[in-house]
Amino acid sequence: MKNMVSLKWLLARMYESDVVIVDCRFQLGKPDAGREAYMEAHIPGAVYLDLEKDLSAVVTEHGGRHPLPDIAELTGTLSRSGIGNASRVIAYDDQGGAMASRLWWLLKYLGHDQVYVLDEGFTAWQKAGFPVTAEQKVLIPAPFLATVRHNMLVEVDEVRENLGDAEVTLIDSREAPRYRGEVEPIDRIAGHIPGAINRFWAEGRSSDGKWKNADEQAARFEGLQQEGQIIVYCGSGVTACPNVLALQEAGFTNVRLYGGSWSDWISYEGNPVAAGDEEKPKGV
């Protein structure tokens, strides 16, 4: 797949000079757990990037729970981590690809196409008997020059302006009960953006933990217009990223991320909130 690589693919190429492996493990609610897991064992040569310290900005009134990082700061972080414009970046996690997909999306947004998510993740790598280590790589900075693709991102004003537009599909990537407004364990208001349909991001993987192939991903998004614009969001802009990746795998090209997502949407008084299921029956 064009955005994913297998365990065996990485095993065969992990020591090639242009490959940079990035450990993105992170547990919501346990902010130190990912780095601690990395310190204990990781894929040889991997560097660690933290969701909240490296791949997000500081939380403010607006922008959501995981605001997108400042571009200059992010490019500096990437460069110091040994990621340059010529690097092939392989990102992995142990959260079903959610955190690795955040780095995947950020690098694509910065104009870097040679970035991939490792299918199955670290535990599967370890269970396969592939090498792990606690040794940390000596980081050699690499020049990284961003060419920002602004069209990949939407802000709250544009989402608001597109409400009710038949040419724009809003996809909520959260679990169905949160989308329907039945429960809300994290954000202060339950529900979803009016008009959004629900496609839980984790359903992009099969029961064995592998990502579904292009045809299976296309089946998840059956009925959506290939030529239409798709805006994807979640709670804070993180787990929307694997859905963006899945949509690309399925052949959709006009896919954009609402970076602040639900937690940003509800930070503005007056933004409408919907509950229940807005899915149209097939054939309608």
CA-atom Rg of the chain in angstroms: 18
Residue 24: which of 174, 237, 238 has the closest Cα?
Answer: 238
Of the residues 234, 241, 247, 257, only one is catalytic, namely 234
Can you read off the two tokens belonging to residue 26? 């992170």
> Alpha-carbon distance 160 to 164, whole Å?
9
Count of other CB atoms within 10 angstroms of residue 153:
18
The β-bridge partners of 86 are none
> Alpha-carbon distance 251 to 253, whole Å?
6
Does residue 241 carry a catalytic annotation? no
> With left for phi above 0 and alpha for psi between -120 and 50, is residue 82 left, alpha or beta?
left
Residue 121: which of 199, 37, 55, 36 has the closest Cα?
Answer: 37
Q: Which positions are catalytic?
A: 234
